[in-house]
Chains A and B, each alone.
Chain A
Amino acid sequence: MKRAHFIVGVAVAAAVLAVTPFLDRYVAYLVTIVAISSIGALGLNLLTGLCGQISFAQAALMGIGAYTAGNLCNAGLGLFAIPLGGLAAATASVVIGLPALRLRGLYFAIATLAAQFILEYLFKILEPLTHGISGLLIRPPTVLGFAIQDDRAYARLAVALLFLVWSGIGVLRATNLGRSFLVVRENEIVARGMGIDVARTKFWAFLLSGFIAGIAGAMSGIASRLANPEAFSFALSVDYVAMIIVGGQGTLTGPLLGAAFVTLLPEAIQRIGELFNTPSILSALREFAFGMLIILFLIFEPLGLMAVVRKLRLRLTASKPGGKSPAATTEAV
């Protein structure tokens, strides 16, 4: 990660943290869900965008994080429940990733799909841990005896976690492991021929991606005070795949844009419907509009929102005297 990008990240995170105490509760809620979705999207992007392993089990991994953190929160572990939820999901992610040592591409994607449905089923039947269909009620975590139960506090916590995950992945991308991810993504045979231990590289991708998914799930459960099977269904996994496609796979900031887009679009459509007194019509069209936008993205900008941002930046720099050439500005941001 370039220092300039890091400084921009710090500035944005600091600005959001500074304004959250003054936000309307609804806006704070929106900030929270966008930040949580961004964390989940960054986790999936690490696995799919950087390491090339397509997964449809992101929601189930988040579910493991949510149920683990929920039970630990209820047991009085406070905010420690969040990293522990991450660890539980990381363990599950490594197990789900085992078929990736033999399967590639769509075949592996189908294996993750199976894992998603198996875990969804387990969420329903492991009642002592999950409370079945009705879901697990999660008590607000306490820090030094004070319960965190304000929407603005959740927003601050989610944004702080997002910044940590975002900068952590930025650093990871510049390590030897991050470089190995990219070579494995491009061509496993080439990676193996170069001497990269492909199995070990995938292991790390599943471990780290699962950990991040678990953190997102834990934060989601804590913020909504509920973990139920419906909240971590296959549809959510598809949403996460959409987030990284819309945002720009393999980039550092793209998943954040994709998460904001996919999370806020239904809210925006709902608001517009209310504004024009046509909530029922627009609500019916919401799924249709969402699907159409994804299709349009795939057709007209398959590299996602980050490609749009890059093009705009190129246009701006090219119009300046002495601006950078396109060749110098193609790095993944």
Chain B
Amino acid sequence: MALEARGVTIRFGGVVAVNGLDLDVRQGEIVALIGPNGAGKTTFINCVSGAYVPQSGRVTWKGGDILGLTPNALGQRGVSRTFQNVASLHDLTVLDIVRLGRSLGRGRTERRSLGLFTTRDPLAEELTETLLAPLGLADARHRPIQMLSYGHRKAVDLARAIAAEPELLLLDEPVAGLSSREAHELADVIRGVRERHGCTILMVEHKMDVVNRTCDRIVVMAAGSRIFDGSSDEVQVDPEVRRVYLGEP
């Protein structure tokens, strides 16, 4: 198993955000983590990406324990992530963000451009066009990030994470704020990334059409626990999922 979580529990005071979660993701798989608001999906992603340290449990990536590692150290181990809320970073252009993302990974295909004092990076420029062209942002490489819409800033955040050439990509609501057409195009980009780089992807997402289009497997969380693990066909008829989402008895 590439990513393995066992008995992960995260509490904030008296609130149990993640409750003894077990979750497996196989190498090269795209898994969607869905569930109602407050289910603990983002908290779990934060735990895997080094932002939170759980009170109990274990998370391993390719057999190595990654709990407690900083995001910087995780980047060097091939783990990269996007954020649910993207910051408006002043004075940085789209290309700046993608170049920075490249420099924070370990550079699986090309390492020469990763130094602290590097200014140019042809691969980052190529990636910017490839990843952002479907959203009409290919010619926006020199546009300041704060001038983009929220949805487009999220797309740039995704490009930054992908530019690090990760082996494990954690996506937190990557298509929030995008139109349906843009969301579908970005879903294709995400699948393309898996095909091109062979990376493993764990994705939190609410839009089920994007989840169905992109993911191999779906894990449903509710109140911090896993209540379902299976295919998109199975999830729609699962009685527990229907109870949590639709309030069916």
Contacts and interface: CB of A to CB of B under 8 A. Distances in A.
Contacts of B71: 192-195
Contact of A180 (B87, B100, B144): B100
Interface string B133-161: 00000000001100100000000000010
A182 B90 contact: yes
Interface in B115-133: 115-119
Given A179-B99, A182-B89, A190-B87, A195 B116 contact: no
Interface in B51-101: 51, 70-72, 74-75, 80-81, 83, 87-93, 96-97, 99-101
A204 B92 CA distance: 19
B91 A327 contact: no
Given A177-B117, A180-B100, A195-B104, A327 B143 contact: yes
Given A193-B51, A195-B75, A327 B81 contact: no
Interface stretch (A153-161, A168-176, A310-318): A168-176
A188 to B, nearest CB: 11
A174 B100 CA distance: 10
A177 B115 CA distance: 9
A176 B115 contact: yes
Contacts of B92: 179, 182-183
Nearest to B86: A190
Interface in A283-333: 327, 330-332
B74 A195 contact: yes
B160 A194 contact: yes
A197 interface: yes
Contacts of B225: none
B119 A193 contact: no
B99 A176 contact: yes
A122 interface: no
Contact of A179 (B70, B75, B96, B147): B96
A179 B100 contact: yes
Nearest to A326: B147
Contacts of B119: 171, 174-175
Contacts of A195: 71-72, 74-75, 80, 104-105, 164
Given A176-B100, A192-B71, A186 B116 contact: no
Nearest to B83: A193
Interface residues of A, number: 25
A196 interface: yes
A177 B118 CA distance: 8
A332 B91 contact: yes
Interface residues of B, number: 36
A169 B41 CA distance: 42
A278 interface: no
B74 A204 contact: no
Contact of B147 (A176, A186, A330, A332): A330
Contacts of B96: 179, 182
A280 interface: no
Interface residues of A, dominant DSSP: helix
B118 A176 contact: yes
Nearest to A204: B116
A43 interface: no
Contacts of B49: 193
Contacts of A332: 91
Contacts of A186: 87-90
B103 interface: yes
Nearest to B104: A195
User: Which among A176, A182, A195, A330 has the greatest number of chain B C-beta atoms within 10 A?
Assistant: A195
A247 interface: no
A196 B73 CA distance: 9
A209 to B, nearest CB: 16
Contacts of A177: 116-117
Given A176-B116, A194-B71, A197-B72, A331 B90 contact: no
Contact of B117 (A175, A250, A327, A330): A175
B4 to A, nearest CB: 22
Nearest to A180: B100
Contacts of A197: 70, 72
A176 B103 contact: yes
Contacts of B83: 190, 193
Contacts of B51: 193
A187 interface: yes
A180 B80 CA distance: 16
Contacts of A192: 70-72
A109 to B, nearest CB: 21
Contact of B91 (A176, A182, A193, A196): A182
Interface in A193-222: 193-197, 204
**Residue of B51, B75, B103 with highest tally of chain A CB at under 10 A:** B103
Contacts of A204: 116
A198 to B, nearest CB: 8
Contacts of B80: 195
Interface string B18-36: 0000000000000000000
In the A-B complex, the 5 residue pairs with the smallest Cβ-Cβ separation, listed nearest first, are A195-B75, A176-B103, A195-B104, A177-B116, A179-B100
5 contacts: A172-B117, A176-B114, A183-B100, A194-B101, A327-B143
Interface of B: 49, 51, 70-72, 74-75, 80-81, 83, 87-93, 96-97, 99-101, 103-105, 114-119, 143-144, 147, 160, 164
